[in-house]
Amino acid sequence: MQDLITLLSQKTNLKKNYISNILKLLDDGCTIPFIARYRKEMSGGADDETLREFESIYISAKKLIERKGEIIRLISERATLTKEIEASIEAASTMVALEDIYQPYKDKKNSRASVAISYGLEGLADILQSAKLTINEFKSESKKFLNDNVKSVDEAIKGAQDILAQRYADDAKERQVIRDVMMRYGILEIKRTKMFDEGGVFKNFGDKDSKSEKISYIPSHRYLAIMRGVKEKQLSVKIKTDIDRIEENIKRYKIPKNGSSSKEFLFEAYLDGLKRLLIPSIERDIHNELKERADIAAINTFGKNLNQLLITPPLSSMVILGVDPGFVSGCKLAVIDENGKYLDSGVIYPTKPKEDYENSKKLVLSFAKKYGVNAVAIGNGTASRETQEFFARLNTDIDKKLNYTIVSEAGASVYSASKIAKEEYPDLDVTIRGAISIAQRLRDPMAALVKIDPKSLGIGQYQHDVDQKLLAKRLDDITGDLVNRVGVDVNSASFSLLSYVAGIGKSIAKNIIIYREQNGVFKTKDELLKVKGLGKKGYEQAVGFLRIKNGKSEFDDTGIHPESYHIAKKLKMVELKNIDVSEKAKELQIGSETLKDIIDELLKPGFDPRSELPSIPFKDSITDVSMLKEGSVVSGVVRNVTDFGAFVDIGLKNDGLIHISKISDKRISHPLEILSLNQYLPIIKVLGIDVKNNKVSLGLVD
């Protein structure tokens, strides 16, 4: 354990005592959200993101230590384990360095070197490696190694060279040097294959013959794009490096300076080891490292986009009309009330080919009057712009305008046909379920979108090319951390939302729904202990993140953990705003960080952290370029991402451009590091207007 703690302290910024505490909490079955929120004194106040990173490093460190033990055992079984070798194994800080040390001891059945060793040529290889003999002397010495398997001097020399080629390729220091050289100076040469599609998605990769990318500079998203081309057999890649420089280094550092003429045989052996064994092996290592880096970068981008999407502020206290736009099949409408309950649905045909404005207007206004609709959510798919034009025209004909906004409908069709949707709306057509999903996304994005596989939300890049297990875990962690940060109403939450609460999971989430249906709403948090499968540990982990509105305890609608209710009761008797937290914490025998959180909850009962973010802006008419001015703030949806920027739909005929230099106040190498297709941007600044050409320059930063 101490070795693990030491290794973790080297790889994280956490102190050893906090690392020890966190490991103990994890071993005791505590979840990351619980540790981040309710065990701050033990974790040094590490937030959920820091703890997730710690967890990842912890898993890697654990694997590294386990592999060290395995390698020590394997070497002991196959060869003599010296103190020097064991020390180098213990000192290895990465899996790559560890595997380099183990490389000479790996089983290499049927390799040229192993065959030569079995023929008794290892002694001749030792003589050649010393390079003390002339060529003639060495050939004469080689005759002593002839046998039934080695019938000529040339065969003996070749066998000795094969052994030395393997020794060179297995040398840990040489492997690291060559790897560093190839990573720093290597070139990824990209060639078009016979199957290359001139007008396809890879048309930008190179001239007719080839294109080169320096490995140390290649952006992660570009590497993934290249390798997708390789997978589809339209591109081929090869890593090129300065072989001449490496050859000179072999002559200078690997060949004995006072060696005799047989050193030419030795050089040939090392050169063969370099080209035939070492470079192909290092190429695989480099591709593995580039892929791992690219996966992490892409997954992080996906994760940031998902977090941004889920944390969008909810639209409470409004009756919403969801609109799923369409041409021939019409626009599907669905009305939900303030609590998200489905009320009614219909279909209108305001766009081509029917362009039935009057009947479309009549149905929309009847819904507005009957249910008190005061917000419209329009999906951003096919016919979205034309549907916006219909509502803009409608608003010019009526006194009370129907403000509308654009909602990403990515994944709506996936949800509509899902088991969850069928259970929620068994009697409705899939198209109406889609319109309901669009409306629900406006009402409460987090509650609606947790029902959909994040990979269907159109917010990532190359999500099908990255490590799927790593991607799934990352997205699951992000969703879970956010759900727990916001809190969940146990009496109204869906199965999907409840399943993300720390300590619950899918099985217990179902049991909570069943208990709710059989016994009515929960009146106290203690009642959760009656739910089948939810034991004391699960209750401890979950209860702080659950909310009960109008329950028996005034603290049940807060993030105060029941273990601290006795503290909260004492604090109700004092003036909270002027309290000396440090002194009060000592008096109550509680940690200062925990006390601060309890005070915050008492001062802001039922607080939703999403409420501090900018609300979704609405429109009541299509924006015309003449209506804009420099400095105006607009909203929009990312429609296309290029190397130089992103095109965003803000309601004009032409999409506005956010140049790469205006996407972030930090230097980025590609817009995809920040933005993704179909991403909703609530606040965009107008930086420049070209009225004549109907073009607008936009920025997320000045």
pLDDT tens digits, 258-273: 889 999 999 999 999 9
CB neighbours of 263 closer than 8 A, spacing ≥ 6? 131, 255, 256
Which superfamily does 320-457 belong to? YqgF/RNase H-like domain (3.30.420.140)
Using pLDDT thresholds of 50, 70 and 90, give the confidence band for residue 208: low
Secondary element (H or E) of residue 657: strand 656-659
> What percentage of the chain's residues is helix, strand, coil (to nearest 5)?
55, 10, 35
- Comparing CA positions, the residue from 401, 444, 425, 441 lying closest to residue 343 is 425
3-state secondary structure of 665: coil
Q: What is the 3-state secondary structure (H, E, C) of 157-204?
A: HHHHHHHHHHHHHHCHHHHHHHHHHHHHHCEEEEEECCCCCCCCCCCC
pLDDT digits over 491-531, tens only?
Answer: 999 999 999 999 999 999 999 999 999 999 999 999 999 99
pLDDT digits over 219-235, tens only?
Answer: 888 899 999 999 999 99
The pLDDT score that the predictor gives to residue 239 is 95
User: What number is the average pLDDT over the span 57-61?
Assistant: 94
| pLDDT > 70 fraction of the chain, expressed in percent and rounded | 98
pLDDT digits over 305-316, tens only?
Answer: 788 788 888 988
Other residues' Cβ atoms within 10 Å of the Cβ of residue 616: 19
Place of tokens 């005061």: 374
The model's pTM is 0.86
Does residue 619 surpass a pLDDT of 80? no
Same topology between domain 320-457 and domain 488-553: no
- Comparing CA positions, the residue from 480, 539, 489 lying closest to residue 531 is 539
Does residue 688 surpass a pLDDT of 90? yes
CATH entry, 625-699, from 3.40.50.1110, 2.40.50.140, 1.20.58.100, 1.25.40.10: 2.40.50.140
Strands 404-407 and 331-336: unpaired
User: What number is the average pLDDT over the span 9-16?
Assistant: 90
The pLDDT score that the predictor gives to residue 618 is 76
Lowest-pLDDT choice from 63-72, 453-462, 533-542: 453-462
CB neighbours of 659 closer than 8 A, spacing ≥ 6? 644, 645, 697, 699
**Tokens at residue 531, please?**
């739910």
**Tokens at residue 584, please?**
């009060």
Distance of CA 111 to CAs 46, 115, 266, 365, Å?
51, 6, 19, 80
The pLDDT score that the predictor gives to residue 621 is 67
The pLDDT score that the predictor gives to residue 626 is 77
The pLDDT score that the predictor gives to residue 120 is 97
330 compared with 683, residue with greater pLDDT: 330
| Architecture (CATH level 2) of domain 488-553 | Orthogonal Bundle (1.10)
User: What number is the average pLDDT over the span 230-258?
Assistant: 93
Does residue 472 surpass a pLDDT of 80? yes
**Residue 481: how many CA atoms within 13 Å on its side-chain side?**
21
Does residue 207 surpass a pLDDT of 80? no
Q: What is the DSSP string of 561-625?
A: -GGGHHHHHHHTTS-STT--HHHHHHHHT--HHHHHHHHHHHHSTT--GGGGSPPPP-BSSPPPG
Using pLDDT thresholds of 50, 70 and 90, give the confidence band for residue 608: confident
> What does pLDDT average to over the chain?
92
pLDDT digits over 337-355, tens only?
Answer: 999 999 999 999 999 999 9
- Comparing CA positions, the residue from 442, 493, 226 lying closest to residue 324 is 442
pLDDT digits over 139-193, tens only?
Answer: 999 999 999 999 999 999 999 999 999 999 999 999 999 999 999 999 999 999 9
| Residue 159 φ then ψ, to 5° | -65, -45
194 compared with 381, residue with greater pLDDT: 194
**Tokens at residue 422, please?**
């069928």
Topology adopted by domain 2-105: Arc Repressor Mutant, subunit A (1.10.10)
Q: Where are the domains of the chain?
A: 2-105, 320-457, 488-553, 560-605, 625-699
Alpha-carbon torsion, ordered 192, 196, 197, 200, to 10 deg: -60
What CA–CA distance (Å, rounded) separates 156 from 159?
Answer: 5
The pLDDT score that the predictor gives to residue 298 is 87
Alpha-carbon torsion, ordered 558, 560, 562, 566, to 10 deg: -110
Does residue 206 surpass a pLDDT of 70? no
C-beta separation of 386 from 351 below 8 A = yes
